[in-house]
A = this chain, B = another copy of it.
Amino acid sequence: MKFKLILSFLLLALGFSAFSQEKQSNHNSAAAEKGLIKVSIMYPFAEGKTFNMDYYETKHMPMVAGLLGSNLVRYTIEKGLSSGVPNQPLPYMAIGTFYVKSLNDYQAAIAPNINAIRADFANYTNIAPVILVSEVVK
């Protein structure tokens, strides 16, 4: 009887320790993102190209993100400032990135909506984007 009681305490302690470790790893975004798939939509800079960041941030990206459901972990937007190499043109005016668990699920969610997504491009840019699918290594 005493043994059972000790065992119960040990199991309880183990469960609590596992729970607090899980909470910790959620707080460490870098560790939690390893292995995720990134889909980066990159808008190359060139003379005469335009990009409306306000529309992109408040309308286009939330619309696409809304299609992805629980497959979407988070999405980010960055604004190109300069090339890191002197006398080189800015490589990209903007990049939008979806961090997803599954590329198949991403493609399945986007495919039936691709025409609506492409039709919205004209509302914020005249750039044809480059798309990179990559995996978070670290």
Residues on A close to B: CB < 8 A?
27, 29-30, 33, 37-39, 41-42, 53, 57, 61, 74-85, 88, 90-92, 95, 103, 130-138
In the bound complex, residues from chain B placing their C-beta under 8 Å from that of A75 are 138
Contact A76 B132 (CB under 8 A): no
In the bound complex, residues from chain B placing their C-beta under 8 Å from that of A91 are 42, 130-132
Contact B81 A133 (CB under 8 A): yes
In the bound complex, residues from chain B placing their C-beta under 8 Å from that of A90 are 132
CB distance from A79 to the nearest CB of B (A): 5
- Tell me whether chain A's interface is mostly helix, strand or loop, or mixed: strand
CB distance from A66 to the nearest CB of B (A): 15
- Given known A-B contacts A27-B27, A30-B74, A135 and B39 have beta carbons under 8 A apart: no
Contact B83 A30 (CB under 8 A): no
Give Cα A77 to B74, complex, Å. 17
Give Cα A85 to B27, complex, Å. 34
Contact B76 A131 (CB under 8 A): no
CB distance from A36 to the nearest CB of B (A): 9
Kindly list the 7 A-B residue pairs having the minimum CB-CB distance in the complex, ordered from nearest. Answer: A84-B131, A29-B29, A78-B134, A77-B137, A77-B138, A91-B132, A82-B133
Give Cα A42 to B53, complex, Å. 23
